[in-house]
Amino acid sequence: MRSINLFVSAGEVSGDKHAAEVIQSLKQQISSDVKTNIWGMGGQNLKKENVELIQDSTNLGVMGGADVIKKLPFFMNLKKRLIESIRRRKPDIALLVDYPGLNLRLAAAIKKHVPSCKIICYVAPQVWAWNYKRIYKLPSLVDRLFPILPFEENLHQEHGTCAKYVGNPTAWSIDQMNPDFDSVEFKKSIGFNPDQPLIGIYPGSREREIDYMLPVFLEAAKNLKELKPETQFVLVRSNSIKEEKLNKYFKKHSISKDSLIKVESYEKNLSVLRSIDVAWLKSGTVTLEAACCETPLIIGYKEFPLFWKVFLYLRQIDRIGLPNIIGGGFVCPELLQNDCKAENWVSITERWLKNPEELQSMKNNLRQLVKLPLQPQMNPAVYIAREILMIYQIDMTSKNNVFHMKEQAHKNSQQTKQEISLNESLNRKKN
């Protein structure tokens, strides 16, 4: 019996979800006479797919330099343990999903210790935002790169990486949702009046995000309630955050549970996003979910002052939210660091609630500038699973082999070098 020896590394909640979708699709496409041996690092989603986890990644998320320094010994030990497992079990393919700080180091170790292993990187490092030097390392570290933002394909191909955009998992999953979804009935089902405005609060999926963002959101909710008593609030709690963590801040701000703000589990996340009038979000994947649901949103981010200054020094773009990066401008407002104050959240939200046409205009922009460019009809999990099978030469009838990507990447790289050389030559002549 033929077999697949596949190593998976997925950090944080979103990476675990994306990886699990690929594994699920792989199992659906694979032949019954092929045995699968899938193991590595992941969370609850990969565990549900019966992946053998040698490390649970549920609480591996870090926010800012303080978290990195605090957890540095743990990550060094984790890297050592994963590499030792890789050396011992010698995978044929490695699927590395997001989490570039660790995964790119694993890729280098795999190339060194198991050179025959093919490396697939799903979700490209955000080199356009910071740490651009990574783009020069990727061609030697990964055999296939599947970015989830359309503009990243050419960016990486121009530098010689075998890259192809095959869809965005967030856009795809939302596009597949029930088109007959009734937001009025959903609001009623979770105890809200559908005729009154409903604000959704998403404080984050990491402990430190809660510490920085939740107090701002709670203060803003109390202030907006005073101005517009009919306003309702629902907070979506990530599975990685315990209720005790939220209760501590509710008590500190004198908010009794379910009186001002009702808490819903992450399982109802997309239903909430499709039903609320305005979303208050900590910057992250959820901002893209809101955009693809065409829900008006405000993006916020707050960090320890010193690390915020470091971030400002290192970043290469003037936007932080994914909808704004994809849309090429400020499609939705961003309240960052010093601007992330309760009064600013209240001011913008109150204005929007008074002007329904402004909310509708944002809905239209989110659809045209963010959702549609992502090509939501494409399912990246199916494509990546098919590529894994192609590497194993199991699905020999597939016409979607992307080996041509390397040729295209090389061609683009050579063209870029020629253009640079020509420009330098012209500049020398001018001088």
Q: What is the largest CA-CA distance in the chain?
A: 73
**Prediction pTM value:** 0.83
Domain assignment present for 230: yes
- Asked if 96 contacts 121 with a C-beta cutoff of 8 angstroms, the reply is yes
Residue 427 lies in a domain: no
Rounded average pLDDT per 10-residue block, the chain, 431 residues = 88 90 94 89 94 85 57 84 96 95 95 95 92 94 96 95 96 93 95 96 91 96 96 92 92 84 91 97 94 97 88 82 93 96 98 95 97 96 94 52 47 51 53 50
pLDDT at 405: 46
Number of domains the chain is built from:
2
**Side chain identity at residue 395, one-letter code:** D
Distance CA 313, CA 307 (A): 10
pLDDT tens, 98-125?
999 999 999 999 999 999 999 999 999 9
Same domain flag for 261 and 136: no
Any idea what the CATH number is for the domain that residue 217 is in?
3.40.50.2000
Classify residue 401: in a domain, yes or no.
Answer: yes
Check if the beta carbon of residue 164 is closer than 8 Å to that of residue 153: yes
Assess if residue 41 is contained within a domain: yes
Question: Domain residues for 207?
Answer: 181-374
26 and 113 belong to one structural domain? yes
